[in-house]
């Protein structure tokens, strides 16, 4: 829940571990066992999925979507969108919004 509620923020491993009441080492191990992915990969995945939702709504610019989901620049968003979906943010927006 903490990750979901703070996707737009800089989520450090130390901060996530503190919220969970665990050491960084234990948090990394427990998270990977529980979710099946390292924390960083999970955070990126959630940011990309949330960006897809925002792009479908077609209300925010791509720069605004990037900031809203915690990417420091729209190029970071574009890199991860291309990696996951094989499309640019604009292409994904067209696909998911039916434009």
User: What is the distance between the alpha carbons of residues 98 and 91, in angstroms, rounded to a whole number?
Assistant: 11
Summarize the confidence of residues 78-98 as an average pLDDT.
93
Q: What percent of the chain has pLDDT over 70?
A: 98
Reported confidence tier of residue 93, pLDDT bands at 50, 70, 90 = very high
Terminal alpha carbon distance of the chain = 33
Query: How far is CA 89 from each of CA 21, 64, 81, 93, rounded to the nearest angstrom?
Result: 36, 12, 6, 6
Q: What is the pLDDT of residue 99?
A: 58
Nearest to 17 by CA among 7, 34, 2: 2
Segment 49-66, tens digit of pLDDT: 999 999 999 889 999 999
């Amino acid at each position: 829940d903490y990750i979901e509620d703070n996707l737009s923020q800089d989520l450090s491993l130390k901060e996530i571990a503190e919220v969970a009441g665990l050491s960084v080492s234990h948090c990394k191990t427990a998270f990977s066992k529980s979710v099946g992915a390292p924390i960083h990969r999970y955070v990126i995945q959630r940011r990309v999925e949330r960006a897809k939702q925002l792009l479908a709504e077609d209300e925010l610019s791509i720069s605004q979507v990037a900031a809203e989901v915690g990417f420091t620049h729209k190029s970071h968003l574009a890199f991860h969108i291309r990696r996951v979906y094989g499309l640019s943010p604009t292409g994904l927006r067209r696909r998911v919004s039916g434009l």
